Structure 1
Amino acid sequence: MADRTSSSITIHAKRDEVMAVIADLENYPVWAGGIRAVEVLEAGPDGRPARARLTIDAGPIRDTYGLVYHWEPDDTGVRWELVEKGNVVTALHGSYTLAESGAGTEVTYELALDSSMPMIGLLKRRGEKMIIDSALKDLKRHVER
């Protein structure tokens, strides 16, 4: 799972406003397509989620799995990794990196995903790209409204 797929988008809001939405995992089902439920299992010392269980319904992938989160200082990013495999999701590493730009905040989403469903590399990268682009557009729409 060395290869990762990434994409970026500019959101017309301050970095801390974007990070507040990203850190509010329990509200993802309200705005993030494909995420049906999020249960925060453990909070870190800063009050942000340290461990959570997500239930997704994203086309052919319907699953529940657990993630652990690592928050960067100064609202510059968050990384997550799979700690509880699902029936379909067998490995997952991802991150959001936030950088201030003249127009607001540039958000870069990076993802590497393995599943129990056999897929050739090209289809896997295309699926990751679809997940990333959809998530970034949903995040932008939610923050900017």
Structure 2
Amino acid sequence: MADESTQSIVIEAPPEEIMAVIADFAAYPEWTNAVKQTEVLSSDADGRAAQVRFILDAGVVKDEYVLAYDWADDGLAVSWTLVKGQMQKAQQGSYRLEPVPEGTKVTYTLAVSLAIPMIGMFKRKAEKMIMDTALKELKRRVEATR
């Protein structure tokens, strides 16, 4: 797997509100610019999404892929791996939530391996841009619903 990138942001909300937004895949097209469609393909015994199909359109990058999710029992983390994709060979990621005095620190970790070759410097820059956008969109969505 490729090198991981990690970024964090503090959101003024408790972890359970943030995790509820992360877990609401049907709403992603409403608040994430690049995600055009989602479909929960299967759920776990607790009713949480186990596999989700995404259709992504970020201008020059268009992809359709399926991710498998693993939800932490304490409600403070979720991780995922790529099941299948068109442009991606592999993807591993996670959100980890940590209560802090200002709300919750959300740490996003992502590693993506593309099916097409890409210079490492450009790939890391793209990952950081994706993560920065995702965290800011998550923060905006959570804080707007409070």
Band of TM-score, shorter chain: over 0.9
Partner of 2:74, secondary structure, is helix
What is the Cα-based RMSD across aligned positions, in Å? 0.9
Percent identity of paired positions between Structure 1 and Structure 2? 48
TM-score between the two structures when normalised by the length of structure 2 = 0.95
Matches within 5 A, 1:76-115: 76-86=76-86, 88-115=87-114
Question: How big is the shift at 1:66?
Answer: 0.7
Check conservation: 1:33, 1:134, Cα contact below 8 A. Answer: no
Question: How big is the shift at 1:127?
Answer: 0.3
The one-letter code matched in structure 2 to 1:57 is D
Residue 124 (1) aligns with residue 123 (2): yes
Question: How big is the shift at 1:59?
Answer: 2.6
Moved over 3 A (4+): none
Check conservation: 2:63, 2:85, Cα contact below 8 A. Answer: no
Residue 52 (1) aligns with residue 52 (2): yes
TM-score between the two structures when normalised by the length of structure 1 = 0.96
Check conservation: 2:11, 2:103, Cα contact below 8 A. Answer: yes
The one-letter code matched in structure 1 to 2:89 is T
Equivalents in 2 of 1:32, 1:102: separation in Å?
27
Question: Which sections of structure 2, spanning at least 5 residues, go unmatched?
Answer: none
Check conservation: 1:9, 1:107, Cα contact below 8 A. Answer: yes
Partner of 1:38: 38
Question: How big is the shift at 1:114?
Answer: 1.4
Residue 27 (1) aligns with residue 19 (2): no
Equivalents in 1 of 2:42, 2:143: separation in Å?
29
Partner of 1:17: 17
Check conservation: 2:2, 2:113, Cα contact below 8 A. Answer: no
Which whole-Å deviations, capped at 9, do the CAs of 1:80-135 have from their partners, x for residues lacking one? 0001122x122111100000000001000000011123211111110000000000
